[in-house]
Amino acid sequence: MYPNFYFLVKDLLGVEVWALIFVNTFGFFVAIAFLLANYTMGLELKRKEKQGLIQGMPGKKWFGQLPKPTDYLGNALLGFIFGWKFLYLFTNGKSFSEDPQSHILSLEGSIVLGLLAAAVAVGVKYYETIRTKKEYPEPVQKDIIIHPHQRMGTMTLVAAVAGLLGAKIFDHMEHWDEFIQNPLAAFLDPFSGLTFYGGLICGGAAVLWYARKVNINWKHMLDVGGPAMMLAYAVGRIGCHMSGDGDWGVVNNRPNPGLPDWLWAYTYPNNVAGICDAEAHTGCPPGSIPELIEPVWPTALYETIMGLVLFAILWQLRKRISVPGVLFSIYLFFAGFERFWIEKIRVNAVYEIMGMKITQAEIISVVLMLAGIILFWWFRKQKPKEPQEVLNESAST
């Protein structure tokens, strides 16, 4: 497994690039998942605007405004932090190979590199000022149209912040005994404790709130988000599998039908979770390389495959369904159905409710499937609106 890209490059190319220990494998694929979701949603927003189902908002923008002293100060501060912390870490990576995360969160760094990076950042800002002054000798305010797809940057940021908080909260609810031992440290640790459904619920709610503020019809926003979230989930699970973050299955000692071990029953050597006993989630002896004692189902990899297949289906359906909201209801059912069945072979905290043993994900999966069925029925009952009616409804909100 590859906790970070240092191990990945070393294994594939035989080259040791110590600076890559700071490129976290799981975090990298989460970032790629966000970018792909951003791109996919942007394509759909453009398509729906072209069809007249959503529209941009009029606005005003200043052109030729010169930066203020605070802008230069902000650039200098960001540049200093980048040089002081990250350039220092990348140039001294070998020294931090055992525990790179602790150094990222420490106060250790290089003041010299920080000052050099700050100077470069201020220089770049000054160059932009000169170029702006040539193009616009005097500042001018112009009327513009802000298209829905142009809001994807802000929308992604809103989803990322709310989704991260939701993922942390839901994970701590699932592992409450571990959380109450040191609540503050657990909640502030950015390198552990993330649950997909928490991110989905909180991130999705935040995006709908933002869409309402900028007059994007909520039903169309749901349809835009469904396929994108399925794709993001599939790509994010690649990071889970490649890093060995603990999202694996139960022990699998069944005879291998001829598949590669990483596809049938895998021990996740050098897993980032530092676990040797998969089902008990117990750590490994100090100084040893983490590897599961018994092989397990590589469930994260299975979810990647299923997620990509379901995304392809949703992507094909998006142009064939005319009733807004229906595509999202299908997404909800797919997401719940996939996760419910993978839970049968996945390691997770189990609750006992009325004599039944069930996981948090199974509960949420059932709710998602039921919500998908109910919403499918409810959306189908709604009379499809003409594009102009949809735009009038958005404007009224």
Instruction: Output DSSP code: residue 86.
Output: I
Asked if 7 and 23 touch (Cβ cutoff 8 Å), the reply is no
Residue 386: C-alpha distances to residues 34, 120, 324, 328, 391 (Å): 32, 53, 11, 19, 9
Cβ-based neighbour number of residue 373 at 10 Å: 14
| Parallel, antiparallel or unpaired: strands 282-283 and 275-277 | antiparallel
Separation CA 389–CA 374 (nearest Å) = 24
Q: Is 246 exposed, middle or buried (0-12, 13-18, 19+ CB in 10 A)?
A: middle
Separation CA 259–CA 47 (nearest Å) = 42
Asked if 232 and 34 touch (Cβ cutoff 8 Å), the reply is yes
Asked if 385 and 342 touch (Cβ cutoff 8 Å), the reply is no
Beta strands in the chain (DSSP E): 57-63, 140-146, 275-277, 282-283, 350-353, 356-359
pLDDT of residue 376: 96
Phi (first) and psi of residue 116, to 5 degrees:
-65, -45
pLDDT of residue 323: 93
Tell me if residue 41 falls in helix, strand or coil.
Answer: helix
Separation CA 197–CA 166 (nearest Å) = 8
Asked if 334 and 229 touch (Cβ cutoff 8 Å), the reply is no
Separation CA 198–CA 158 (nearest Å) = 15
Task: Show the DSSP H helices in 175-217 as ranges.
Answer: 176-181, 183-188, 196-213
Q: List residues bridging with 351 in a β-sheet.
A: 358
pLDDT tens string, the chain, 397 residues long: the values are 888 888 888 888 888 887 777 778 888 898 899 899 999 999 999 999 999 999 888 888 888 888 888 989 999 999 998 888 777 766 665 555 555 555 555 667 788 889 999 999 999 999 988 888 888 888 888 888 899 999 998 888 888 888 778 777 766 665 556 556 655 554 445 545 456 667 777 888 888 999 988 889 999 999 999 999 999 999 999 999 999 988 899 999 999 999 999 999 999 998 888 899 887 777 888 878 899 999 999 999 999 999 999 999 999 999 999 899 999 999 999 999 999 999 999 987 777 777 777 887 888 899 999 999 999 999 998 765 555 555 555 555 5
